[in-house]
A and B are shown apart, each in its own frame.
Chain A
């Protein structure tokens, strides 16, 4: 190894923040605008965990009393994703609100089709924030794109009086105040902050389960300074969201070289140009993971990433490519490890890749679990009960 390569590698093994790229602390502008009477800041209340973001600024993660800003993609076609987030919160004894007074952030459509504009996107975000503030619950964002987009919106609002005026006018028509929360928090940050409590509640041995993590672009590339980094997770060189939880759960976290690459989702492409999504997701992500890390499962923390990485493998298998690994959110994985039912809670039957070998490795009799789920479906079919309830899944 040359000296130059040695120097680079030694830097990667140490945790050094780079002050020249440090982003400003948005809180200063946020509180200044509040003091000027321009907006209301919804404060973090009750118990919270202090975590560290990319350049060392602290971020408060409120533990309970949270307003769940749901994801249209998760609720729509990966419903075990949101169900698992709720389930973990209930299992750990934290209260929450699952509001009907919430729209999607609409950013999937915006990044796909551009059939919206800056003011509309900001107004949608602030309508949701105002709705959360009215309930007294603090917002927790389920989708990585919503989270990244809202961080962008916050930055644009803090720096543009014109945009604030435009949005204030629209909110005025709705009878709503201009509210920005003290922190914009992604659910995977909550899971990271709560990782020790989650690990304490784990009942399955995961030490033999090999995991690769796909960090979601919109989580840590948009407003990069406001994402969680931890010296104990990849030496602080990658975001600690997801990976930090995987380590705490005692699973076998494995690295691969294309971790920075996107999943190939593309927003527009996943719906109307899937040959691109499929090619990128499998050739640049799944095959590289398989070749370099041979994971039992791929975990990620965004709607689009689960979709692209999971759904792209079926057609690719027909070409005898080296694919075939289950994909899910870390919320589903953590919930299952805490005893959640793989079908009633994690709802794995909505996924395309074969998750059964993983469940076997986790010590779960998936055939018995499926039979158990079928019994519940029969009750629903016979109208013995209208819906599966939280009581039915033990929380």
Chain B
């Protein structure tokens, strides 16, 4: 039997869409993944049993496998992990069905950390995955609620059926027809107090979460930074 010499998990160049970088850069990026304080409790080794793959929704429709992620991490395979960072991690559904792992691994958690590294470093995969997503980031960071009623536009959700158009056309009236006093909003999920939003701005700025998006979407970062700094200054809140 011939010896297999090519890496069975590597995507060939014609499939992989990312640009290669020097090994030292891969070491730097993967080093950030392993430096995350959650990593030791997310990875204990892998039997290759495939239970995580059987439970994984993304594995059914993409060239994606939580087992391959856990395996690469367990072997500290920097080359493969870098490719996964650029090719695979955004396919994950983050449902955490893979926590069924008999070894207690958390492939979904490893992917969360890898995604953070992809975002912070402005990798191609993060930019592609978050194309069209900027509005959501803007909404959650600036208002404290994510999916607002006025986002339900028929041109954005034609596949959700004619009811989306009904909601959109009747939005203001239908929101007034909601008994909870906090629900009469159209641009946020509920009426969030202004002082609460300011506290959220402090959190985004103090924890570095706001700056995470600088590399992946500089435009949204600039807008959000301006809004937050201006509002905090108006209120005399110093960081």
Report which A residues bind B (CB closer than 8 A). 70-77, 79, 82-83, 86-87, 98-104, 106, 108-120, 123-124, 127, 131, 148, 156, 159-160, 162-163, 166, 169-170, 173-174, 176, 217-218, 221-222, 224, 260-262, 264-269, 271-272, 274, 276, 278-280, 284, 311, 314-315, 344-345, 347, 349-352, 373, 376-377, 380-381, 386-390, 392-393
The answer to whether A279 and B203 touch (CB under 8 A), given A113-B133, A222-B99, A268-B90, is no
Known: A119-B208, A173-B206, A389-B179. 20 other contacts (CB 8 A): A79-B175, A83-B180, A86-B180, A112-B94, A117-B207, A127-B199, A127-B203, A131-B196, A162-B37, A166-B207, A169-B206, A221-B97, A266-B93, A267-B94, A272-B131, A311-B160, A349-B166, A377-B174, A387-B178, A393-B179
A-B contact pairs, 19 of them (CB 8 A): A73-B147, A75-B189, A87-B179, A100-B182, A104-B146, A109-B146, A110-B112, A115-B119, A117-B212, A217-B95, A217-B96, A222-B99, A266-B58, A268-B133, A272-B133, A280-B60, A381-B173, A388-B176, A388-B178
From A83, A271, A276, contact of B62 by CB (8 A): A276
- Asked if residues B183 and A170 are in contact (CB atoms below 8 Å), the reply is no
User: Once bound together, how far apart are the Cα atoms of A373 and B207, in whole Å?
Assistant: 47
Give chain A residues whose Cβ lies under 8 Å from the Cβ of B100. Answer: 221
Partner of B60 from A284, A344, A376 at Cβ < 8 Å: A284
Nearest A-chain residue to B112, judged by Cβ: A114
Chain B residue at minimal CB-CB distance from A145:
B94
Asked whether, in the complex, the Cβ of A116 is within 8 Å of the Cβ of B159, the reply is no
Cα A141 to Cα B37 with chains together (Å): 27
A111 to B136, Cβ gap below 8 A? no
B72 beta carbon closer than 8 Å to chain A: no
User: Closest B-chain residue to A267, C-beta based?
Assistant: B94
When distances are taken between beta carbons in the complex, the residues of chain B under 8 Å from A381 are: 173
**Stretch from B2-10, B11-19, B23-31, B148-156 that touches the partner:** B148-156
CA separation between A271 and B177, bound complex, in Å?
26
Q: Given the complex, which residues of B lie within 8 Å of A118, measured CB to CB?
A: 36-38
Selected contact of A113 from candidates B36, B130, B145, CB within 8 Å: B130
Are A388 and B179 closer than 8 Å at their CB atoms?
yes
Interface centre among A166, A272, A351 (most CB of B within 10 A): A272
Which residues of chain B come closer than 8 Å to A109, judged between CB atoms? 136-137, 140, 146
Q: Is the CB of A76 within 8 A of B166?
A: no
A287 to chain B, nearest CB (A): 13
**Nearest CB in chain B: distance from A306 CB, A:** 12
Contact among B99, B116, B179 for A392, CB-based, below 8 A = B179
- B166 vs chain A, min Cβ distance (A): 7
What is the predominant secondary structure among interface residues of chain A facing chain B?
A: helix
- Does the CB pair B145–A103 fall under 8 Å? yes
Query: In terms of DSSP, what is the predominant structure of the interface of chain B?
Result: helix
B69 at the interface (CB under 8 A from A): no
When C-beta atoms are compared, the residue in chain B nearest to A71 turns out to be: B189
Q: Contact at B57–A264, with CB atoms within 8 Å?
A: yes
B144 is an interface residue with CB less than 8 A from chain A: yes
* Interface-central residue, B118, B151, B177, by most chain A CB under 10 Å: B177
- Judge whether A98 and B180 touch: CB under 8 Å: yes
B213 and A115 contacting across the interface, CB-CB below 8 Å: yes
How distant is the Cα of A99 from the Cα of B193 in the complex, in angstroms? 9
Bound-complex Cα distance A16 to B148 (A): 44
Closest CB of chain A to B193's CB: distance in Å? 4
B112: chain A residues within 8 A (beta carbon): 110-111, 114
Q: List residues of chain B with CB within 8 A of the CB of A377.
A: 173-174, 177
Q: In the complex where A103-B192, A173-B239, A380-B173 touch, is A98 in contact with B182 (Cβ < 8 A)?
A: yes
A268 to B239, CA, bound (A): 32
In angstroms, how far is the closest chain B Cβ from the Cβ of A214?
12
Partner of A77, one of B38, B133, B152: B152
**Hey, which chain B residues are within 8 Å of A103, CB to CB?**
144-145, 192, 196-197, 200
Contact between A76 and B149, CB atoms less than 8 A apart: yes
Knowing A70-B182, A83-B183, A393-B179 are in contact, say whether A77-B163 is a contact too (CB < 8 A): no
* Per-residue interface assignment for chain B, residues 163 to 189, with 1 indicating a CB less than 8 Å from any chain A CB and 0 otherwise: 110110000011111111111100001
Which residues of the partner chain A approach B58 to less than 8 Å between Cβ atoms?
266, 276
A76 to B151, CA, bound (A): 9
The answer to whether B179 touches A269 (Cβ under 8 A) is no
- In chain B, what residue has the closest Cβ to A350? B167
Contact in complex: A115, B212 (CB < 8 Å): yes
